Amino acid sequence: MMNLYFNFAKAEMGFQIMLIAYLGACICYAFSILRSRYEATIYQIARFLFLLGWCLNVYILIERGIIAGRPPFKTFYESLIYFSFLFGLLALSIEWFKKIKLLGFLSLVIILSAELFALLKQDIDIVTVPPALNSGWFLPHVTIYFSGYSSVTVAFVLSILALIRTGTINLDKDSFWARALGRQEVNFEELHRDWVRIGYLFLLGGLITGGLWAKFAWSDYWAWDPKENWGLISWLIYGVVLHMHHTSFLKGRAVLKVSAASWFLILFTYFGMSYLPTKSQSMHIYTEPLPPEEGKDVKGVNREMY
């Protein structure tokens, strides 16, 4: 907790304001869902703060990209900011057009978790990329993959919403669900299915662009690298989710449950690689420079995966 505070104090100002805006938006969404007093005003503030936070998110990315002279998703920190930008874009547009407050709230919880995690992984340097990443494939591969991550995260939020919302609610009466859904009926299951499809397509695109790139850089389009394998596993399981719609006995809530569980595979693919015993055999390794210590080689580098 103290670490978060220290790192927050050291972060660039854009990041600080962005975090405050996202946090404010999250709190405002919660208020406009929980209380009916000033509901409309607080809701408008929430949306404005969400938009403000997202714009700052774009600003930090562009600034970092210009300083580094390369796409800004080399380190864990950068990739998390990039994720919250892409996921924020999707969540914000859905919320903007469909006005589902609870979706806005849950998305912000995920974005804030990503940003706080980024704060813990804050890097001290804008590092240069090693030759293997210095390629035209870097931008499309990461963008497509992260679009996939973002889309399945939207699907995850929608599956949770579909799972916790049971039965029908009188939308004319003032109630938690009436406020949370913006006083409208939403078919979460259908929306969820759409987003699983989008995510599935992007994950596939990510695997394939990765393969094409790897053929040029590492001489193999598929090297059974742990990161590749977990990308494949999560894609296969989302394939299971899509197939489940076509069985008589696994439709409905079972699909939502499996889909929600699959998101944790994505989470593991993103965060969990350094916990694998095979991590040393992975080529998806990224460098983070170590701080200098007295008596130690200042040029030592620490290798960490993301």
Partner 1 sequence: MILSKLQSLWNQRPFHENIFKQILALKIWVCFWVVFQHLSVSLEWNDIQQISGFLAVFIIISGLLIGLAPSWAYRLFTSVPFAIAQLVFMAASVALGTLILQELKFSEYLDIYGSVWWGDLPLVLVRYAFAYDLYRSLWFLSLLALLSASTLSVAWKRRPYTLPRGGFLLVHLATSVILLGGLMGKFGFVRAFNELQQNQPVTVFWKVKGPDPNDWKNPFSLPFSVRLDQFEVIKHDPEYRLYAFTQPDGKGGFEDNPKSYDAEAGFKTRLPLTWKRLEILQALPDGLNRSTWFNDVTAPENPVLQVMLGTGTPNPLLGFLVAQDLRTQRFNDPQGRFSLLFNEEFKPRDLSRFKRSEPKSHLVQLTFAGKTFDKEFKKGSIWDFPVFKLKMVRLFNDFPFKNDPNGRPVKVETVPPELRGNWAELELITNDGQQAKILLSARNPEFSKSLNAGNLPPGLSLQYKISGEESFSNFVVFSKNDMKIRSIENGQILKESPLVLDRPFIFKNGFSATPLSLLLNARVDGKYIPNPQARPILERNPAVQVTLSDPRTGKAETVWLDGREAKPTTFFDKKIGLIYRLKDQEARDFRSKITLLDTSGKILAQKQISVNDPLVYEGLWFYQSNYNPEDPTVSGIMVVYEPGLWVTYFGFAMIVIGTIWMFYLKPIFLKRSGRLTK
Nearest-5° Cα angle at 109, 61 to 274: 70
**Least CB distance from residue 212 to partner 1, whole Å?**
8
Look up tokens 């008596």; give the residue. 295
Taking the complex as a whole, the smallest distance from the CB of residue 161 to partner 1 amounts, in Å, to 22
By CB under 8 A, is residue 252 in contact with partner 1?
A: no
One residue of 93, 113, 184, 247 binding partner 1 per CB under 8 A? 247
Pick the binder of partner 1 from 35, 243, 253, 303 (CB under 8 A). Answer: 243
Q: What angle, 0 to 180 degrees and rounded to 10, lies between the N-to-C axes of helices 101-120 and 13-34?
A: 150
SS3 track for 49-86: HHHHHHHHHHHHHHHHHHHHCCCCCCCHHHHHHHHHHH
Burial category of 20 from C-beta neighbours within 10 Å (exposed 0-12, middle 13-18, buried 19 and up): middle
The answer to whether 277 contacts partner 1 (rule: CB under 8 A) is: yes
Tell whether the torsion through CA atoms of 186, 187, 188 and 191 is positive or negative: negative
- Residues numbered 8 to 27 that lie near partner 1 (CB under 8 A) are 9-10
Residue with tokens 């499996």: 258
Q: Which of 38, 62, 278, 303 binds partner 1 (CB under 8 A)?
A: 278
Rule CB under 8 A: is residue 113 a binding residue for partner 1? no
Q: Is 124 in the site for partner 1 (CB under 8 A)?
A: yes
Q: Which of 27, 163, 201, 285 binds partner 1 (CB under 8 A)?
A: 201
Q: Does 300 bind partner 1 (CB under 8 A)?
A: no
Residue closer to partner 1 by CB (options 38, 216) is 216
Tell me which of 29, 50, 149, 200 binds partner 1, using CB under 8 A: 200
Where helices occur in the chain by DSSP H, the ranges are: 2-10, 13-34, 39-68, 76-98, 101-120, 138-164, 176-180, 188-217, 226-244, 253-271
- Interface of this chain with partner 1, residues 129 to 188, rule: CB under 8 A: 129-132, 134-135, 137
Tell me which residue has tokens 């006083």.
183
Of 185 and 293, the one with the shorter C-beta distance to partner 1 is 293
Among 38, 96, 176, 218, binds partner 1 (CB under 8 A): 218
Per CB under 8 A, the list member of 79, 122, 151, 259 interacting with partner 1 is 122
For residue 205, the Cα-to-chain-centroid distance in whole angstroms is 17
State the minimum distance, in angstroms, from the CB of residue 180 to partner 1.
29
Tokens, residue 213: 């790139």
CA-CA distance, 95 to 20, in Å (whole number)? 20
Q: Looking at beta carbons only, is 112 or 211 nearer to partner 1?
A: 211
Binding string, 38-77, against partner 1, x = CB under 8 A?
----------------------------------------
Cβ-contact 287, 306 below 8 angstroms:
no
3-state secondary structure of 6: helix
Q: What is the binding site for partner 1 (CB under 8 A)? A: 6-7, 9-10, 122-125, 127-132, 134-135, 137, 197, 200-201, 204-205, 208, 211-213, 215-224, 226, 229-230, 232-233, 236-237, 239-240, 243-244, 246-247, 249-250, 276-278, 280-281, 283, 287, 289-294, 298-299, 301
